[in-house]
Amino acid sequence: GIRLNTEGFIRRIDWWTDLTPLLKHAGTVNVENLPSTVKSFVALNCSLVSIGDLTKLPKSLRILNIGMNKLSGHFSFASLPEKLKELSLSVNNFHGPLDFRRLPRSLKSLRISWNRFYGPVDFTCIPPLLESLELGNNLLQGEIDFSLLPRSLQFIDLSQNFLSGSLVLSSLPKSVSVVLLSKNSFEGEIGLSDLPRSLRELSLSNNKLSGHVVVRGLPSCMAYLLLHDNNFSRYTISEALPDSMYRLTIDVPMGLKMKIRDDYQMHKRRKGLNVIGRRRGQLRRRFQRPT
């Protein structure tokens, strides 16, 4: 739909559909023709194959969401409106290097998952007000430094890329609540005792992490901790898990040492907790009690 302000100027354009079978023919939109007063443009799941010159967006634009289309080609972050707050390009076929230096400093949400962006991830020049960073399912490479992330960040998705190196989880922003790092090539040992206290979900599955994992001192609000499909040599759950914990996944291959204290066993019986121990590709142990 189209929304006007009190003076009759177009401020918002929302074009969204879940009627995909009816959209048999691909379409095009030319953003150069957007009104100069528009602040929000959403064209979601519209089978678009072309959207025009993105370097000529209205300067008034604050929200741009063109996700779930059929858009492709090189995408440059240069020349975006300087006051843009939300940028969503997810589920398209854009490609190009990920250059945070080109992003507007006002940006609060960057969603570009399920594309083909490539290259290293340099957080040095990331927008300082960013709250949501969704880069999953791309071709990103190299190591990452969490200490360079904005303190305002609440959601991080770097899953299903080609990222590598060690993980210093204690350097995550203190305000973060969801961190998705699965299906990369991170390696080395990890520490779980100094995580941000706001963290509710941490996914580290399908990496090359190793060593002894001590599950202790988790945030009181944590609900999901996914550690399966790594190379850990030992697990120790040395204290009762948080009351909010819903799922903990770990590998239990033949010969793996696993120590669970009695107070954890009591906790497991008392809560509707779902703890899954797996072999790679095969369920190994499952402890579950209905809520």
49 and 91 share one domain: yes
177 and 267 share one domain: yes
> How far, in Å, CA of 194 to CA of 276, rounded?
23
**Two tokens, residue 94:** 């854009």
Q: Specify whether the CB–CB gap between 107 and 129 falls below 8 A.
A: yes
Give the pLDDT of residue 281: 42
- Tell whether 139 is covered by a domain: no
77 and 201 share one domain: no
Give the pLDDT of residue 121: 92
- Tell whether 146 is covered by a domain: no
122 and 232 share one domain: no
| Residue 1: count of CB within 10 angstroms of its CB | 8
Quickly count helices (H) and strands (E) in the chain: 1, 25
Q: Specify whether the CB–CB gap between 94 and 72 falls below 8 A.
A: yes
DSSP letter (8 states) at residue 243: T
95 and 182 share one domain: no
128 and 174 share one domain: no
Instruction: Report the number of distinct structural domains present in the chain.
Output: 2
76 and 195 share one domain: no
- Tell whether 142 is covered by a domain: no
**Two tokens, residue 49:** 């194959």
- Tell whether 143 is covered by a domain: no
Could you tell me the residue range of the domain that residue 291 belongs to? 166-291
DSSP letter (8 states) at residue 9: -
Give the pLDDT of residue 234: 85
- Tell whether 149 is covered by a domain: no
**Two tokens, residue 282:** 């095969």
Q: What is the CATH number of the domain that holds 30?
A: 3.80.10
- Tell whether 247 is covered by a domain: yes
Q: Specify whether the CB–CB gap between 44 and 66 falls below 8 A.
A: yes
Give the pLDDT of residue 83: 95
Query: Across 153-288, where does the E strand assignment appear?
Result: 155-157, 162-165, 178-180, 185-188, 201-203, 208-215, 224-226, 231-237, 247-251, 257-260, 274-279, 282-288
- Tell whether 179 is covered by a domain: yes
Query: For all residues of the chain together, what is the average pLDDT?
Result: 84
Residue 236 bridge partners (DSSP): 214, 259
123 and 73 share one domain: yes
- Which of 90, 115, 132 is the C-terminal boundary of a domain? 132
Which residues are CB-contacts of 15 (< 8 A; sequence separation ≥ 6)? 42, 43, 44, 46
12 and 123 share one domain: yes
185 and 67 share one domain: no
R_g (Cα) of the chain, nearest Å: 22
219 and 270 share one domain: yes
Give the pLDDT of residue 105: 95
199 and 76 share one domain: no
- Which of 132, 153, 186 is the C-terminal boundary of a domain? 132
Give the pLDDT of residue 290: 34
**Residue found by looking up tokens 């209905």 in the block:** 290
pLDDT by 10s per residue, the chain, length 291? 565 455 555 676 777 666 554 454 567 888 888 888 899 999 999 889 999 888 889 999 999 999 999 999 998 888 899 999 999 999 999 999 988 988 999 999 999 999 999 999 999 999 999 999 999 999 999 999 999 999 999 999 999 999 999 999 999 999 999 999 999 999 999 999 999 999 999 999 999 999 999 999 999 999 999 999 999 988 888 777 888 888 888 876 554 555 554 444 444 443 445 555 554 444 344 333 333
**Nearest partner of 230 among 260, 256, 255, 251, judged by Cα:** 251
Give the pLDDT of residue 160: 98
- 219-269 per-position pLDDT tens digit: 999 999 999 999 998 888 877 788 888 888 887 655 455 555 444 444 444
